[in-house]
Chain A
Amino acid sequence: MAVTIAIPGIMRLVYIKTPDEVLAVNDSSVIERSLSGRGGLVHRALASKLEVFRTLEGDIWPAFRDRLDPMRVAHQRALDEALADRGMLLQRLAPEISELASYIRSGRSHRIPGLVVQQAVGRLFFPDYAATEESYEAARTLQTWLSAGPLRSRMLKRSGTLQRALDHIMELSRGNMSCAHATALAMDNIVKSIHLMRKLARSTDNLAMLGTQDAVARTLRAPARIIREARDGTNIGSIRLRARSLVMLSVEAARCKRPDPGFGFFSSSSWNRCPAHALVPALLAEIWREAKTDTGGRA
């Protein structure tokens, strides 16, 4: 059931967390990804947060492009094709898979797991992508920017930390915005999954007993929340959206209620399906499998 919070001049937010409603709103033609900034102070603040992902040439990261944007379609198609050969890609990631598997098994790692995930994700785009502590920190900064309150946001912006992070990520991604998005924002869900796998592995016998599919199902995570805007008033099922409402889709909360592993990737949707919808579960499965394999006779 949708919850509406309306404070005149400040915001009108509709919070949606049931799976069917999340899917219905996501598919509605009147709900947009881009934010106009109209409707209240919070609306303006959120719109300005997204604007930092626009380059000097006016290009914006693909995940913030609208449904009918031909460049979004082109990016999605290109990435779908690039990520289609999962076998080859997983082979390319063998060192990172091994390192993450070791972390899951032992809890020890030479590098921060998140950094290894970032490198693995980056290598889906460029085989020689090399993540560093600085690049991981840059990704964390961008993730923080999206969820930070006004004071923190201001500090990040005024101090130049935000711009340095953006520049660093873009440089490492060689201007490829899909890569930038994947290595800065999207990878956070995989990092969460890795930590959950480690948690699972710490419990007795889980590593030996739990099959890869079960492990993946239990650790796969969706983005916690995504934000949309209703430009005009509309009714979607029983949800009434007034014009200029911000719509917060609690994807992770909805995913918990829906056993479908593709839910978090909008894999049933034709327009904003994550191009990595098949690759991420396969990657996690491979990591768990390798972690299991190395347990050997101790199981």
Chain B
Amino acid sequence: MSRQNDGLEFHPTLLQRFLDALYRLINRFVVWHRLPTLLAAVNLGVFRERLRAHNLYHAGYGIPESSDWSPGKERWRSADGSFNSLDHPRMGMAGARFGRNFPLIECVPDSGDALLDPSPRLISCELLARRTFIPATTLNLLAAAWIQFETHNWFSHGLPEAGNEFKVPLSNGDDWPDPIDGCMHIRRTIPDVTAREVWLGATPTFCNTNSHWWDAGQLYGSNRARQMQIRSGTDGMINLGADQMLPEDPRYPGIDLTGFNDNWWIGLSLLHNLFAREHNTICSALKQRYPTLDDEELFQRARLINAALIAKIHTVEWTPGILAHPALDFGMHANWSGVASRVMRAVLGKNSEAAYGIVGSLTDQHSAPYALTEEFTAVYRLHPLIPDNLKVRTLNGLPEATYDFLHVQGWHTRELMQKHGFNNLLYSFGTANPGAIRLHNYPNFLRKFEKIDQPLMDVAAIDIMRDRERGVPRYNRFRELVGKPRLQRFEQITSIPGAAAKMHEIYKGNIDRVDLLVGLLSEDLPQGFGFSDTAFRIFILMASRRLKSDRFFTDDFRSEIYTEFGMDWIRNNGMKSILLRHVPQLGPALEGVNNPFAPWNVL
């Protein structure tokens, strides 16, 4: 393991070994989410340690060291994410390869015809296509936009290029409007053309065009050139127009200029504008307290603070919002700031993540160099969150308007923002429900989607193909590899009426062929959960890892780096305070709302 994992090894403590054995026994009789809250939270901690030991695999860096480095820059995040780890400077930088959560020999795609079996288009039509909109009633639409906002921070495989497409045969009667020789063409993921290490075997590798770190790269870009493009050059601020909105990207009319603006739509525009404003507010406050700081220093410090704030919101607000289980709520707060028990802190000691939180603890890569993984990208396929329509409500009682989603994305975005305004659109998102992450709830406009610079796409079929071509194991093996038992019958996966029979038919009775996405969308959920327990296992591991591996959330999460002001700002703010700071008119809508990702009051 050490050879492939760049010398990193996991060393469990005696207590961890004991708890691991104990919970193996307990879980034979009770699943974690049926345990009392505290026991369930400890159970999640045990899962995390187990996953840290067995589910982190290095796939090589696939990139040379960054040349954009000089002494002194270790005080802040580099534009491309390099030198976050000073011992492993390529770790997590933009362009580095995705890692894996499973042993490399498990991550080999099917060969030949098996890769297209069963047809991803058939799955799109028969299992994924939305029949009627199923809302997620405990969430608002901002929660859907948020996760895309975050994934744009973490990863991108780049825009697929023409040539050597998958040719998916279309069945008779398929209404796909753009067939080529009776097939639907799907472009392949951009291949990794860097030299392969001998130990990679048959596992395909792909590069992340974004930095892997939780560094708000979606706002600030993943290279220095992009970063300079979005900056105003004065007092560390991001360039905003006179209306306090992001300017237009000169290359893509209708789309805002920001760090990463792929797959642009109004939800992303809202969050990018909100956090660009927050960045500038932080800059102003820093400037006021530390008048000697120059533009670069102000920008970089504000970026650190803003990125930490985004990470905090994701950890203690978004995640407990979408996974509304008391153990999760407890666990995510413990991840950020530890448990609020003096006794436990005294017993577990100052180096304990559980007692004091991951943030501010010692950096640890556990058993592999940090990288986001292909499996992580696979479990973040959450397109059912997107509804078919957006109802625009107004704070001042003007008439409402409804748009289909095609008209709130791409080059329509800025026009819509200008027409209805930032405040009204935020209010509309706060009061609308996203879709439930379930089978038969995939938005149909995405199944016939025209994206800038890309051919007509069935995104649902593409989602299926992406997992297959990248060697992500199918559902049943995925379960096994995250420590859950394989299932023997389709009825054990789901109780959605008719789904098991339909899956049985499409997968010709072979449960081991069920695609990961289909399994995740059909799985019966623990109480309060917005997505499957199987996907959640990857979240348990990677959500903590994004913090624990990052020097700026651990060793260097201190006032010398962030400033005293910055530490206070992170401690005292959350999504609600940010919303109210920049749009105070939302006060009545947010009154009494505990979690800003839950539905707001309709005024």
Task: Name A's B-contacting residues (CB within 8 A).
Answer: 29-30, 32, 34, 36, 38, 54-60, 65-72, 231-235, 243
Contacts and interface: CB of A to CB of B under 8 A. Distances in A.
Interface in B90-126: 103, 105-106, 108-114
Contact of A68 (B109, B473, B513): B109
B105 A66 contact: yes
Contact of A235 (B113, B486, B510): B510
B3 interface: yes
A58 B202 contact: no
Contact of B3 (A56, A70, A234, A243): A56
A67 B114 CA distance: 14
A56 B198 CA distance: 11
Interface string B459-494: 000000000000001101100100000100000000
Given A29-B111, A30-B114, A232 B513 contact: yes
B510 A71 contact: no
B108 A57 contact: no
Main secondary structure of the interface of A (DSSP, over half): loop
Contacts of B112: 29
Nearest to B115: A29
B197 A58 contact: yes
Given A59-B199, A69-B201, A69-B202, A32 B105 contact: yes
A57 B199 CA distance: 7
A281 to B, nearest CB: 29
Name the residue in B108, B109, B202, B474 with the highest tally of chain A Cβ atoms < 10 Å from its Cβ: B202
B4 interface: yes
B199 A36 contact: no
Contacts of A234: 510, 512
A66 B108 contact: yes
B199 to A, nearest CB: 3
A58 B3 CA distance: 7
Nearest to B113: A29
A196 B91 CA distance: 57
Contacts of B3: 56-58
Given A30-B114, A71-B196, 19 more contacts: A29-B111, A29-B112, A29-B113, A34-B105, A34-B201, A36-B106, A57-B198, A58-B4, A58-B197, A60-B199, A68-B109, A68-B111, A70-B196, A71-B198, A231-B106, A231-B477, A234-B510, A243-B477, A243-B512
B516 to A, nearest CB: 12
A231 B107 CA distance: 11
Contact of B511 (A58, A67, A69, A233): A233
B198 A59 contact: yes
24 contacts: A29-B110, A29-B111, A29-B112, A30-B110, A32-B108, A34-B105, A36-B103, A57-B3, A58-B197, A58-B199, A59-B199, A60-B198, A66-B105, A66-B108, A66-B201, A68-B202, A231-B473, A231-B477, A232-B474, A232-B477, A232-B512, A234-B510, A243-B476, A243-B480
Interface string B200-233: 0110000000000000000000000000000000
A67 B512 contact: no
A243 B474 CA distance: 12
A30 B513 CA distance: 10
A176 to B, nearest CB: 13
B316 to A, nearest CB: 37
A68 B114 CA distance: 13
A286 B1 CA distance: 46
